[in-house]
Amino acid sequence: MIVPLPQLLAVSAGLFAIGLFGALTRKNAIGILMSIELILNSANLNLVAFNRIWGEPSGLGQVMALFVIGTAAGGAVVGLALILTIFRHRQTISADEIKLLKG
């Protein structure tokens, strides 16, 4: 059974929208991180879907998706480490209170 492209894109768009909403609204830094993971995954879905529909023989889309998963894992690790460090210093991970770079 082949799921047609529009559905796939719709799911992907939905994921993206949820992720963006979460990233913009969550106070918790970990929540923001998780939302970003959602955005990444929506991109992955698009990559895989387009590869499949256009029958790219090299499977470049899949390979890209795997890359994104890898980098996302790395990003999560770094992000969590940052959040941990911030928490150690400021006893909070609320994104509202972290504004060291305010001009």
Partner 1 sequence: MCLVVTVVGWLIMLYSIGYMGGDPRFSRFFAYLSLFFFAMLTLVLAGDLLLLYIGWEGVGLCSYLLISFWFEKPAAANAGKKAFLTTRVGDLGLLAGILLIAKRAGDLSLTNLAAKGAALGGWAPAAALLIFWGAAGKSAQFPLHVWLPDAMEGPTPVSALIHAATMVAAGVYLVARTLPLFLPNPNALLAVATIGGITSFFAATIACTQTDLKRILAYSTISQLGFMMMGLGAGSAFAGIFHLVTHAWFKALLFLGAGSVIHAVHHQDVTRMGGLWRSMPVTALTFTVAAIAMAGIPPLSGFWSKEEILRRLAGSGPPFLILGLSIAFLTAFYITRAVVLTFAGKPHVIPANAHPHESPLVMTIPLILLMLGAIGIGFIGTEFAGHRFQHFLGIETGAAHQEHGPAWIQLAAIGVAVGGIALAILRYGLGRQLAPARVRGSLSWAYRIVSNKYYIDELYDRLIIRPVLALARSAFSFDAGVIDGAVNETGNAGLALSRVKGWIDQRIVDGAVNAAAAAVGRTGAALRLIQTGLVQNYLLIAAAGTLTLFAVLRWLS
CB of 8 to partner 1, least distance (A): 21
CB of 62 to partner 1, least distance (A): 26
CA neighbor of 93 nearest in space, from 84, 101, 102? 84
CB of 1 to partner 1, least distance (A): 33
Question: Site residues for partner 1, window 53-72 (CB under 8 A)?
Answer: none
Question: Site residues for partner 1, window 2-41 (CB under 8 A)?
Answer: 20, 23-25, 32
CA neighbor of 93 nearest in space, from 26, 14, 47? 26
Window 77-96: contact mask with partner 1 (x via CB under 8 A):
------------------xx
Please state, in angstroms and rounded to a whole number, the distance separating the CA atoms of residues 40 and 44.
6
CB of 33 to partner 1, least distance (A): 11
Tell me the three state secondary structure of residue 94: strand
- Is residue 42 within 8 A of residue 16, CB to CB? The reply is yes
Tell me the three state secondary structure of residue 55: coil
Q: Name the site residues for partner 1 (rule: CB under 8 A).
A: 20, 23-25, 32, 95-96, 98-103
